[in-house]
């Protein structure tokens, strides 16, 4: 009987477990400032290890005057390591596919898709946060302040656990 129980466990599909960690990066010459990292494994065994943020194609003074070309970008590991990790949520395959759909929606927006006041990295992160079922303040004054925005999201969602380290 123990062999049969073990065989059933081995034959069972593995539940997906992809962790999504939301980050901010203090202002500087590098973008995006708000982004998320996905790590884990899907039910089909596929390993997930990537990140997404939204930024201007060319960071120039033009972003101060209106819309410019935008792009979804995968921040480099060194950039992620120097950023503020705020909170992590675990999602299943369905939410993962929805999140990738959101990334594709932003990736394929008609250009000029980046606007500092109306469609920036924080707006991108806020849509991901909402898609995953968490609250954010749509009237926030922090659209241009990624770190403050993430801290505000934490305050609005008591179930989220603030990550340690440099996210204060």
Which residues 6+ apart lie within 8 Å of 137 measured at CB?
Answer: 152, 156
Looking up tokens 């596929």 gives 46
- Whether the ω angle into residue 159 lies within 30 degrees of 0, i.e. cis, is no
Supply φ then ψ for residue 157, to 5 degrees.
-125, 85
Domain extents in the chain: 16-156
Per-residue pLDDT of the chain (168 residues; tens, 9 = 90+): 454 444 444 444 556 699 999 999 876 655 669 999 999 999 999 999 999 999 999 877 878 889 999 999 999 999 999 999 999 999 999 999 999 999 999 999 999 999 999 999 999 999 999 999 999 999 999 999 999 999 999 999 999 999 975 544
Radius of gyration of the chain (CA): 18
CB atoms closer than 10 angstroms to residue 134 = 18
């Amino acid at each position: 009987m123990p062999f049969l129980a073990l065989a059933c466990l081995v034959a069972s599909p593995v539940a997906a477990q992809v962790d999504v960690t939301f980050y901010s990066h203090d202002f500087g010459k590098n973008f995006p400032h708000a982004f998320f990292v996905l790590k884990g494994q899907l039910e089909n065994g596929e390993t997930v290890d990537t990140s997404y943020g939204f930024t201007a194609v060319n960071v120039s003074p033009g972003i101060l005057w209106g819309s410019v070309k935008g792009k979804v970008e995968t921040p480099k590991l060194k950039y992620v390591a120097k950023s503020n990790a705020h909170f992590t949520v675990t999602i299943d395959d369905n939410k993962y596919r929805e999140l990738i759909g959101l990334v594709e929606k932003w990736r394929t927006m008609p250009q000029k898709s980046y606007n500092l006041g109306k469609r920036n990295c924080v707006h991108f992160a806020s849509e991901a946060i909402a898609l995953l079922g968490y609250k954010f303040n749509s009237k926030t004054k922090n659209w241009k302040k990624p770190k403050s925005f993430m801290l505000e999201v934490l305050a609005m969602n008591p179930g989220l656990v603030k990550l340690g380290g440099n996210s204060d």
